[in-house]
Chain A
Amino acid sequence: MSTASRDRILDAARANKPAELPLPTVPDFGGEATIERFTTVLAGIGGTVVRMSGLAELVPTLQQLFPEARATASPLFAASVPINAQTPTGILAAIDLAVLPGEIGVAENGAVWLPEANMMNRALPTITQHLALVLDQRRIVATMHQAYAQLPNTGGYGKFVAGPSKTADIEQSLVIGAHGARSLVVLLY
């Protein structure tokens, strides 16, 4: 590590920067914080919303949606594979379905905030073949401004997940299921 380079970069930035300009205040633009909007937008990016009347419906809903899932992981019910931060990669790589609690849903883009504390293992939400996020419908906000305003901090790791993993790198053809989860369902209750 070179402190000489650090000093050189900081000195050059100090010498070459323009006169100070003000930091704008970002307004809350309002917007539509509805389940309908969230559902439509998520469908447009390849995800699905499934409504539940309460958490009691979670297990039967999952059995209906993922009848084939053998290796499941979740902090919300007695899933088949116990997972924690130390779980070896080989076990993680065999997970068919992870069911994790999301914190905030964003109606304008279908994204759900998933903090580290909710994901059992940092690799789980992307290495699982299928991902289901369970979200309280009262936690839907209109925009990313409102989502960030609600985050106390981003913890060690956390992410907004908007739909399944996808790519259009071959001739701009949309393919769902690039490296991460092949499908994403948001279970709203």
Chain B
Amino acid sequence: MSHAIRADKFLLDADRTTWHDETLWFVREKRDRAAYGVPEFQELRELASGIKNHTLSRLDLYLQEFEAAAQANGVHVHWAADAAEHNAIILDIIQQQGATRIVKSKSMLTEECHLNPYLIKHGIEVVDTDLGERIIQFRDEPPSHIVLPAIHLKKEDVGDTFHTHLGTEKGESDPQRLTEAARQHLRGKFIAGEVAISGVNFAIAETGGVVVCTNEGNADLGVNLAAVHIACMGIEKIIPRLTDLGVFTRLLARSATGQPVTTYTSHFTKPVAGKEMHIVIVDNGRTQQLGRPDFRASLKCIRCGACMNTCPVYRRSGGHSYDFTVPGPIGAILSPNIDMKKHASLPFASTLCGSCTDVCPVKIDIHTQLYKWRQVLGEANEIPAAKKWSMKFMGRVLASTRVYGLGGQFARKALRLLPHGLTHAPSMNAWAVARELPEAPRQSFREWYAKQPQPATQLPNPKVPA
């Protein structure tokens, strides 16, 4: 199923689509205010991009430096080539503890690896503790945004969900009271948690520590109450030095939600005496992306979601229409690397307006990569036949002055003579499904121009001063 077909479903509810669009644009506006408040914001983007580019160019060395430093801190370091290995490593750590109650803070990587269903299948209780993630976990839905996982839901939806799962009053939709109900419910889970799983925002090669950024404090609460902390990270989370965080912490929250910084910027470096800390370093297609010169810059992503909030297509089609862990423009350039066939329609879910590139805090050339993926998909024969042949046909027409002129004459006549039902038939003309063709003029500009009095063939010589 293509992105366009899934987007159609989202668009069935026009009011909700408008609300979704406006809500995300509001977040984009908050981002702008936060960014304009920092005079050196553009320099910070350049620095962040430079630090990430440098890190990718020495990735193997920094990974080894990180591993050695983490091990010196008493941390167990694991390596997973793919999602299956990542999940197996985590299950093994949990089973060695004899644990069954897991609290998890937000991690897009564990979503990517489908860790939750895997653990549940093995009899482990996994509780997502980020409020948005808990809501969608109750509803058995994937996140629709990487920073705002439940942004596709209205407060009434959350009220219904909490009524079913937490016993809140029917019809309760006040965010304050719903959040309080979740706080009480999750406090119990935090206190009972035996193993805490977290994602990683930044992994510092120099110190071997990982940094986790949250607003709710759920990572800190989960990790510090459990006996074991498992932090899961993709290989691209590495940064070289502690001081590099000055750049990234100034960019991340401002780009994501327009906050000056997240409430908690937590540095987990060594386990407390008597407890364990594990770090799972995951590849799952990332080294392959590193080997694609046109697309490797996508590995610089710090998962702020700014490209989603600004994207006119994402805002009006919803995160679920992408059917990939990371939706929006960045997801559309990451997903074909994972499965080109399955995600072939995503690089086309864009107007190539470039707004994503403009807001990206690490200066990923997102819209250029979208365009390049289209070429790759075309070469690989992964675009629908109708699109492929109509593009080939238009390419021929636009390449020849004569064919273009004749085509124009034919189209103007046809549009006047043929019935509207035929020229706008959805089966014949997908473009006209939601659009009206213009009224055809009697003549083209070229025809009109040819009838005008011809200007002097040679322009008078300009007077050149002696």
Contacts and interface: CB of A to CB of B under 8 A. Distances in A.
A66 interface: no
A17 B60 contact: yes
B207 A93 contact: no
A12 interface: yes
Contact of B235 (A13, A89, A175): A13
Interface stretch (A3-11, A56-64, A70-78): A3-11
11 contacts: A123-B225, A127-B225, A146-B246, A155-B269, A158-B266, A165-B215, A166-B263, A175-B179, A179-B216, A180-B217, A180-B218
A146 B242 CA distance: 12
Interface in B51-89: 51, 53-54, 56-60, 63-64, 73, 76, 78-81, 85, 89
Interface stretch (A95-103, A106-114, A132-140): A106-114
A11 B269 CA distance: 26
A163 interface: yes
Nearest to B130: A169
B56 A12 contact: no
Given A2-B78, A166-B216, A167-B131, 11 more contacts: A5-B80, A13-B287, A21-B50, A24-B51, A122-B272, A126-B221, A157-B224, A163-B263, A171-B158, A175-B179, A179-B187
A79 to B, nearest CB: 20
Contacts of A183: none
B57 A18 contact: yes
Contacts of A160: 249, 261, 264-265
A172 B260 contact: no
Interface of B: 23, 26-27, 38-40, 43, 46-47, 50-51, 53-54, 56-60, 63-64, 73, 76, 78-81, 85, 89, 129-132, 135, 148-151, 153-155, 158, 175-176, 178-180, 182-183, 186-187, 190-191, 207, 209, 215-218, 220-221, 224-225, 235, 240, 242-247, 249-250, 257, 259-273, 281, 283, 287-288, 290-291, 293, 296
A24 B260 contact: no
Given A175-B179, A181-B217, A89 B57 contact: no
A13, A15, A21 — which one has the most chain B CB atoms within 10 A of its CB?
A13
User: Interface size bucket, A side?
Assistant: 35 or more
B287 to A, nearest CB: 4
Interface of A: 1-3, 5-6, 8-24, 26, 29, 41, 44-45, 85, 89-90, 92-93, 106, 108-111, 121-123, 125-127, 143-149, 151, 153-173, 175, 177-181
B70 to A, nearest CB: 12
B158 A156 contact: no
A45 B131 contact: no
B236 to A, nearest CB: 10
A170 B155 CA distance: 6
A66 to B, nearest CB: 19
A8 B81 contact: yes
A14 B287 CA distance: 9
Contacts, number: 269
A6 B89 CA distance: 13
A180 B220 contact: yes
Nearest to A171: B155
B81, B178, B271 — which one has the most chain A CB atoms within 10 A of its CB?
B81
Contact of B264 (A45, A122, A159): A159
Nearest to B89: A1
Q: Which 6 A-B pairs have the closest CB atoms?
A: A180-B217, A16-B291, A169-B132, A12-B287, A109-B260, A156-B270
Contacts of A92: 225
A157 B269 contact: yes
B136 to A, nearest CB: 10
A1 B86 CA distance: 10
B273 A85 contact: yes
Contact of A177 (B27, B132, B183, B260): B183
A144 B250 CA distance: 7
Given A18-B56, A111-B261, A123-B224, A172 B27 contact: yes
A41 B224 CA distance: 28
Contacts of A45: 259-260, 263
Contacts of B73: 156
